Amino acid sequence: MSEPTPDSTPPAAVSPRESLLVRAARQLPVDRTPVWFMRQAGRSLPEYRALREGVEMLTACRTPELVTEITLQPVRRHGVDAAIFFSDIVVPVQAVGVDIEIRPGVGPVVAEPFRTRADLDRLPELTPGHVTDVTESVRLLTAELGPTPLIGFAGAPFTLASYLVEGGPSKNHERTKALMHGDPVLWHDLCARLAQISAAFLQVQAAAGASAVQLFDSWAGFLSRADYLRHVEPHSRAVLAAAAETGVPRIHFGVGTGELLVDMAEAGADVIGVDYRVSLADAITRTRGRYAVQGNLDPALLFAPWEALAPQVRRIVEEGHGAPGHIFNLGHGVLPQTDPDVLTRVVQLVQSIPRPGAGG
Ligand code: 1CP
């Protein structure tokens, strides 16, 4: 099989690593904008809720047959251009032995929060042997997905550290920031360990067949730029550099990160994820048109009437035409009460709009 030439769009059925999503991430021409949704699996889908009946979240994440079925559900239903691996950002820390569970309606809860140097002993490095189920899940999935790319993911060190230090979801991240400033040496050691874990988790997914990876730094927007650059960016940079070795494109995403967008892109991303607070046009200007962009429909707009929603979808696709590559997505995850039929309609609309300048 030969590489597609950069100046032509390949025919529809290609290998996932030549798919629209990967081409857009690599700034290669595409005849239309690829689309997927963060949190497209689960939550809003009745078929997901049926499968999860009586099964704990982390058990579901570690059971390859369930992971495969749950990951495929939104691909079948919505016809999206990529699958997102059904897992959670806390799976790799659980895999190395941290006592953590995901409580319904709450999120990840850590039995013994991390506060001291001795706690680092509870966080060994991750090896592929810790996550053989993940390798198996990705292999099963990529066999089923055919030409549709699978996106692997991991949590970034800061977002993971926040769960470990706070012990669960946090509004203000106060204990995390107290550790960052109160004991910067321990903070850096914790983040360096988490960076190793995230990087190894991404590498396992790419080695087993994922065609792109996304690093979720969901809570980075709670940081000042100075804190981000000093205490966080070097660790995210290390994860993205390790991910680069796999050869698959890297998407870097956070929420409320308008002030950090350039730094997050320059940390080593191929694609910068843009939340809904910053327009794609502004994001493209801020990053000087050097990066592919992903986003950024406000997930709450999926509750608006179609006549109000459709022009917003079109506007975002058109703004994305100004970037060297655009992957349509929401500005954050699908909200649980979203009508899945609206998501399908958004996919169809995005896929109906040609991207100018593809030469085809
Ligand atoms: O029982 C359930 O169904 C629990 C809900 C749920 C689901 C479906 C959680 C708990 N995690 C997931 C899956 C998940 N998590 C995926 C794969 C599914 C998909 O995207 O379609 C992904 C990519 C994640 C990543 C994740 N988990 C992030 C980063 C993305 C983001 O939303 O910013 C974060 C912050 C988490 C932690 C987490 N896990 C679950 C919840 C409710 C939370 C957030 C809690 C909080 O507010 O802090």
The tally of domains found in the chain comes to 1
Q: Is 99 a catalytic residue?
A: no
What pLDDT shows up at residue 181? 98
pLDDT bin (cut points 50, 70, 90) of residue 51 is: very high
- Within a domain: 71: yes
For the chain, give the mean pLDDT: 95
pLDDT bin (cut points 50, 70, 90) of residue 11 is: low
Burial 237-258 (b: 16+ CB within 10 A, else e): bbbbebbeebebbbbbbbbbbb
38 lines ligand 1 (CB under 6 A): yes
What pLDDT shows up at residue 357? 79
How many CB atoms lie under 10 A from the CB of residue 28? Answer: 22
Spatial CB neighbours of 19, under 8 Å, sequence gap ≥ 6: 34, 81, 82, 147, 148, 149, 211
Centre of ligand 1 to C-alpha 88, Å, is 6
pLDDT bin (cut points 50, 70, 90) of residue 358 is: low
Which of the residues 48, 163, 276, 291 is marked catalytic? Answer: 163
What is the domain extent for residue 124? 40-278
* Distance of alpha carbon 300 from the chain centroid: 19
- Within a domain: 195: yes
220 lines ligand 1 (CB under 6 A): no
Tell me what percent of the residues of the chain surpass a pLDDT of 90.
94
pLDDT tens string 313-344: 999 999 999 999 999 999 999 999 999 999 99
Mean pLDDT, range 12-16, rounded to an integer? 76
Q: What CA–CA distance (Å, rounded) separates 131 from 208?
A: 11
Which of the residues 39, 230, 277, 286 is marked catalytic? Answer: 39
Nearest CA to 248 out of 204, 193, 309 is that of 204
- Within a domain: 32: no
Strands 212-216 and 150-155: what pairing?
parallel
Out of 36, 89, 214, mutate this one to test ligand 1's pocket (max ligand atoms within 8 Å of CB): namely: 89
- Within a domain: 116: yes
Q: What is the pTM of this model?
A: 0.95
- Within a domain: 286: no
pLDDT tens string 143-161: 999 999 999 999 999 999 9
- Looking at residue 92, which CATH number applies to its domain? 3.20.20.210
pLDDT tens string 275-297: 999 999 999 999 999 999 999 99
Report how far apart, in Å, the C-alpha atoms of 174 and of each of 21, 89, 168, 182 are.
37, 20, 12, 11
At 287, which amino acid appears?
A: T
pLDDT bin (cut points 50, 70, 90) of residue 43 is: confident
Mean pLDDT, range 186-209, rounded to an integer? 98
- Within a domain: 1: no
- Within a domain: 358: no
Q: What CA–CA distance (Å, rounded) separates 196 from 241?
A: 11
Q: Is 62 a catalytic residue?
A: no
Mean pLDDT, range 124-149, rounded to an integer? 98
- Within a domain: 312: no
Q: Is 52 a catalytic residue?
A: yes
CA 49-50-51 angle, 5° bins: 95
Residue nearest to atom 31 of ligand 1 (CA): 218
Out of 88, 109, 170, mutate this one to test ligand 1's pocket (max ligand atoms within 8 Å of CB): namely: 88
335 lines ligand 1 (CB under 6 A): no
